[in-house]
Structure 1
Amino acid sequence: MVFFKNQFANVVEWEEFRDDMIFWKWSNREIKKGSKLIIRPGQDAIFVNNGKIEGVFEADGEYNIDSQIIPFLSTLKGFKFGFNSGMRVEVLFVNTKEFTVRWGTQNPIMIPTPQLPGGMPIRANGTFNFKVNDYVMLIDKIAGMKDSYLVEDVKIRITSILDQLLMKWISREGKDLFNLQANAFDISKGIREDLDMQVMDSGMTITGFNVMSFNYPKEIQDMITKTASHEMVGNLQKYQQISMTDGMASGKMAGGGAAADMAGMMMGMNIANEMMKNMNSQGQNGGQGQGGQQGGNASAGGGSQGGNAGGSAASGNPPKFCPNCGTKNEGAKFCPECGQKLG
């Protein structure tokens, strides 16, 4: 009989251990008398019978199942091995480590904003961390139907709802869309709490969530960079003026489409108006100085323009120059500069 003592014995262990595997099921096998259980570091072994947890073993090492394991199983304590019969039970090995997963938005997220009717297109990337924390839930929702579960399965579930959560937390409380990195901590904290609620029913918990960077379209990023370089964040009018000037200087104003052409034309008109105002202002200031000089000459009686003005006034016609300030007259009855009656 000694020859047959352990010929049917087997080893219960995680045969397909992978770092990216959350759990693996040793199932539908009959555990014979003399079999051993091997638990490696970072693993827990869960004995399951008819969907119910019989016992959880956490310390790594090698165990004799019939003498060291069965006495601790909740409803199988009295199990006796027969010569040809064994114990049919499932053993679930769980990876107990904390997993770190990189994520990134596949498509731009259109964040609603009054300035852009279609929304602000933003991409983001970062990492999240999770681990198994509830074996009952894990078996009830996932392990009861699957023989293994990968980190990639969790990543797919998380990223399927991540765009909605990013939109929610970026838009919340009027976050500055052009300086989202400053609010990355609050955004990450809110998303982590929401994701934790999403995976809780699967026996897992989100232990961390981080947004590493927010990425804007190149055109918007160039605008932000240029605005910062000119130290005029928030002064859109001044930025437009400089952009228009740069565009005209580089010859790149054309070819931007109807909308771009219209915007460029409007910006050009605005700048032209500002230039005209500046020229008029300078002209008036110069006219006042010249008028003062002419008025001085006229009052001295030695200037020909003053004499002409006096002669014109005497004849009843308005003088060409104001006898008071010397401003040139275009036929008006009163001087447009000082109000002196001219005729």
Structure 2
Amino acid sequence: MGLFGNQFANVVEWEEYRDDILFWKWSNQEIKKGSRLIIRPGQDAIFLYNGKVEGIFTDEGSFDIESEIIPFLSTLKGFKFGFNSGIRAEVLFINTKEVTVKWGTKNPINIPAQGLPAGMPVRAFGTFCCKISDHAALIDKVAGIKRQFTVDDVQERVISMLDQLLMKWIVKEGKDMFNLQANSFDIGKGIQEDLDMEMMKIGISITTFNIASFTYPEEIQKMVTKAASQSVVGDMGRYQQMAMIDAMANGNGGGRAASDMAGMAMGMMMGQQMAGQMSQTMFGNGQQAQASQASAPASENASAGGWKFCPECGTKTEGMKFCPNCGKKLM
């Protein structure tokens, strides 16, 4: 009778592999004669016997347990199976791929801010990447009591630490409270280092931590938007150009407010142009009249009874001896 007795063959494998599961434990089944171990790409298989690690297999493929796995284990640790039927062992399948996890603050975090005794309530969200890096720590801290460990389990652990870490690195970096997004890389890098140190205690490393966005209360966001608008309005010409472009972009059903604003801006521009043209016309005509009077020959201005116009001020003086305006003698 062989090592496993006259038992039916079975297959030791991760039957329902999912990317969101970091490890899955094959257990409570008897490994029979003729059984095969199947390791797929992105997986490691760890043999456990009586709760202890007997061997770690990292090569993908299909292996005969009786002829390939057991002899290896026996050579590695002097392990001996003293059974004639089957053996009860556990096989822990590890997902070796790096997985991406979404995170977000459950509640606003009150960050200390000048002039706000209770702090500034801030929310944040983003992603982080993690992978299993220490099999021994994982088995000792997690796998011994769980059959599987998912991305949701990692997410829950990380989020439980995020409030303190976000506050720590925002305050530590001394960043501008209203410009956190511009400094998100430095803040995220500090959080990643702290998270990695904590999660390594259970055999998981945090490879990256990204902050996609910070959000403020709605009232604060409206104030920021208004301040930005006022900075643009400071340049009236630029404001008018923006209003006109906005109206043209949305003219066929784009918002009445934008169209009204564009019409007002265009009206102001047209008024300014018309005023300029009128001023130029009046000024030009006055200059032309004075020039024509000044250039008129004395023979045209003179008459039999005297001067038609005063040569001094241009007042009409036909038939007069003295100018009624300036008093100049004309005869």
Query: d(CA) in 2 for partners of 1:99 and 1:221?
Result: 33
Residue of structure 2 in register with 1:180 after alignment: 180
* Paired amino acid for 1:228: A
State whether residues 7 and 86 of structure 2, in contact with CA within 8 Å, keep that contact through their aligned partners in structure 1.
no
Contiguous gaps of at least 5 residues in structure 2: 233-331
Give the C-alpha shift of residue 60 in structure 1.
1.4
Give the C-alpha shift of residue 108 in structure 1.
1.0
* 3-state SS of 1:174 partner: coil
TM (norm. structure 2) is 0.65
State whether residues 6 and 34 of structure 1, in contact with CA within 8 Å, keep that contact through their aligned partners in structure 2.
no
**Does the alignment pair 1:75 with 2:72?**
no
Query: Aligned in 2, Cα 1:6/1:39: closer, same or farther, shift over 3 Å?
Result: farther
**Does the alignment pair 1:194 with 2:194?**
yes
Residue of structure 1 in register with 2:148 after alignment: 148
**Does the alignment pair 1:44 with 2:44?**
yes
* Paired amino acid for 1:191: I
**Does the alignment pair 1:158 with 2:153?**
no
State whether residues 10 and 31 of structure 1, in contact with CA within 8 Å, keep that contact through their aligned partners in structure 2.
yes
Residue of structure 2 in register with 1:57 after alignment: 57
Query: d(CA) in 1 for partners of 2:44 and 2:68?
Result: 16
Residue of structure 2 in register with 1:228 after alignment: 228
Residue of structure 2 in register with 1:105 after alignment: 105
Query: d(CA) in 2 for partners of 1:173 and 1:7?
Result: 65
Query: d(CA) in 2 for partners of 1:121 and 1:29?
Result: 52
Give the C-alpha shift of residue 88 in structure 1.
2.1
Higher Rg? 2
Could you list the per-position Cα deviations for residues 61-118 of structure 1 after superposition, in whole angstroms to 9, with x for gaps in the alignment? 1100011111221335543662xx2222110011111110111112111101122111
Residue of structure 2 in register with 1:66 after alignment: 66
Query: d(CA) in 2 for partners of 1:213 and 1:20?
Result: 24
* Paired amino acid for 1:36: R
* Paired amino acid for 1:75: K
The CA RMSD over aligned residues, in Å, is 2.0
* Paired amino acid for 1:39: I
Matches within 5 A, 1:1-343: 7-73=7-73, 74-75=76-77, 77-79=79-81, 82=84, 85-231=85-231
* 3-state SS of 2:183 partner: helix
State whether residues 33 and 81 of structure 1, in contact with CA within 8 Å, keep that contact through their aligned partners in structure 2.
no
TM (norm. structure 1) is 0.63
* Paired amino acid for 1:126: G
Query: d(CA) in 2 for partners of 1:5 and 1:191?
Result: 55
* Paired amino acid for 1:150: T
State whether residues 40 and 60 of structure 1, in contact with CA within 8 Å, keep that contact through their aligned partners in structure 2.
yes
Query: d(CA) in 2 for partners of 1:139 and 1:110?
Result: 37
State whether residues 7 and 33 of structure 2, in contact with CA within 8 Å, keep that contact through their aligned partners in structure 1.
no
How many residues matched?
Answer: 229
Query: d(CA) in 1 for partners of 2:55 and 2:9?
Result: 21
Give the C-alpha shift of residue 141 in structure 1.
0.4
* Paired amino acid for 1:103: W
Query: d(CA) in 2 for partners of 1:35 and 1:93?
Result: 16
* Paired amino acid for 1:198: E
